[in-house]
Amino acid sequence: MKKIVLSAVAITMIATAATASTSSELKELKAQMEAMAEKIAQLEAKQSKTTETIEAKTVENASQLTSKSPVIELSGKHYLGFVSDDGDNGFETRRNYLQVKGFFEDNPKNYFRITLDTFQNKDEDSAEDADSWEVRLKYAYLYLDNVLPYTGVEIGQAHRPWIDYEEHGGWNYRSISKVLVEADAGAHLTNSADLGVNFKTKTPHFSSELGLFNGEGYHGLEDGEGLSAEWRLTGHLLGTGKEKRKDHVTYADVSFFGQWNDMSNKHGNEDLNWYGLHAVYNQPEFLLAAQYVNTEDAITKYAGDGWSVNGEFRLATLSENMKDYGIIGRYDSWDLDNYTEKERRRTIAGLTYQYNKYVEFIANYMNEEIDGIDETDAFMLTTEVNW
């Protein structure tokens, strides 16, 4: 608008100059016109800079989230697959996790986390909703760092002590199979999250998780009848207890873990007490892990013992061209003390390919046997996505 007004003034001055009768008047008008032209140029430059600043701020604000937390972290994990199982073929989306962490200003290690998970509900009573896809709350907890020496705490719907540890350094392929203590075709004793508190300690040679939970797990009905004391105690023989478990890190860990469930609704309002021993050794070329699990006190549906062994061989050892490929294998054995399905056996063998840091492809064979009679063979293709 200012530019238009100034231009009109300049035109008026030019018309006035045309009627001027003396050379002194012409010189004065010419000087005024030059001053006016310079002012117009300055205003145009200022207006252009202001527009660029507004546009830049608009783009910047469009890519930011507003929150009381100074840092918001978004991430996702997805297990997509195809399964051929005794003649039945089909595509699957096994897990879709969406995670948000809000970090606090007073201590950047303190945060609140919420994780949502999709699942197919095959227990719907309504024909309209049968097999529908739903969203379930997996984690919702406050983490406070260093509440005790070398120890932080999760409060809310938190990690249970064992499964997350094994899936991040003992068995890295949750996308194709749960670990022994959780798998339906294994011990099927527990799951990975529950309402409670979990104290997590980390030092170079020792780490632990000590928790108290409702006991039913994150998709079980809480009836208030009892609590579950749960633990993991790990010795890090090579002093790597504070490092993240990565393929290129050499580590050797030995763990004692378990649960004492008092009158848990998940287990028929009876006690379920069990414990396990686990050892893992990893170096850049390969990983080897083994464990033994035994129930001390349980109803017949869960009472038993068993073991599992798994390994991973990274083909970079053979050739630089094969650095993104790996071979994996696992064998589970679980024997029930007194139940219809007395023996459960499972064999897994597969090939992995790390496409990039976000995507991994897995092709594997899985065999499951119950009492040496009921046998199932499956061939699986899996895409794991992390962002």
CATH code for the domain of 193: 2.40.160.10
Tokens of 322: 């094969």
Residue 226 pLDDT level (bands cut at 50, 70, 90): confident
267 or 149: which carries more pLDDT confidence? Answer: 149
Q: How far is CA 191 from CA 56, 159, 230, 250, in A?
A: 48, 9, 12, 28
Is 66 contained in some domain? no
Q: Do 29 and 150 sit in the same domain of this protein? A: no
Judge whether 67 lies within some domain: no
Query: Does residue 8 carry a pLDDT above 90?
Result: no
Which are the contacts of 240, defined by CB distance < 8 A and separation ≥ 6? 204, 249, 250, 251
Share of the chain above pLDDT 70, in %: 83
Q: What are phi and psi of 18, to 5 degrees?
A: -65, -25
* pLDDT value at 51 more than 60: no
- Report which of 68, 80, 75, 79 is spatially closest to residue 104, judged by C-alpha positions: 68
Q: Are residues 6 and 136 in the same domain?
A: no
Give the per-residue pLDDT at 68: 77
Both 22 and 81 in one domain: the answer is no
Q: What is the pLDDT of residue 213?
A: 95
Residue-level pLDDT at 373:
78
Residues 21 and 169 both lie in one domain: no
The string of pLDDT tens digits covering residues 152-188 is 999 999 999 999 999 999 999 999 999 999 999 999 9
Q: In whole angstroms, give the CA distance from residue 318 to residue 171.
A: 23
The sign one gets for the Cα dihedral 77, 81, 86, 89 is positive
Do 97 and 114 meet the contact criterion of CB atoms below 8 Å apart?
A: no
Percent of the chain predicted with pLDDT > 90: 64
Helix (H, G, I), strand (E, B) or coil at 368: strand
Q: 199 with 322, same domain?
A: yes
CA 246 to chain centre: 15
81 and 47 co-located in one domain: no
Q: Does residue 286 share a domain with residue 161?
A: yes
Q: Which residue(s) pair with 27 in the sheet?
A: none
Rounded CA-CA distance 180/240 in Å is 25
Residue 325 φ/ψ, nearest 5 degrees? -110, 155
244 in helix, strand or coil? coil
Residue with tokens 């597969």: 350
What value does the mean pLDDT take over residues 248-275? 86
- b/e code 183-196 from CB counts within 10 Å (16+ = b): bebbbbbbbbbbbb
Q: Which two tokens stand for residue 268?
A: 């028929």
pLDDT (tens digit per residue) in 80-125: 999 999 889 999 999 999 999 999 988 999 999 999 999 888 766 6
Q: Are 43 and 178 part of one and the same domain? A: no
Choose among 184, 176, 191: nearest CA to 79.
176
**Same structural domain, 165 and 44:** no
208 domain residue, yes or no: yes
- Its pTM stands at 0.80
Do 106 and 209 have their domain in common?
yes
Number of domains the chain is built from: 2
Residues 57 and 177 in one domain: no
Question: Which residue(s) pair with 206 in the sheet?
Answer: 235
Q: Which is higher by pLDDT, 42 or 272?
A: 272
Average pLDDT, rounded, for the chain: 87
Rounded Cα distance between 141 and 164, Å, is 15
Q: To which H or E segment does residue 41 belong?
A: helix 23-62
Q: Is 334 inside a domain boundary?
A: yes
pLDDT of residue 5: 45
Please enumerate in sequence order all residues whose Cβ is within 8 A of that of 86, keeping only pairs 6 or more positions apart, or say none. 376, 377, 378
Structure tokens at 380: 């699986």
Q: Is 12 helix (H, G, I), strand (E, B) or coil?
A: helix
In this structure, the answer to whether residues 171 and 293 fall within a common structural domain is yes
Provide the pLDDT for residue 321: 85
CA distance to 101, 138, 184, 231, per residue, from 114 (Å) = 7, 8, 26, 23
Write out the residue range of the structural domain in which residue 50 sits: 2-61
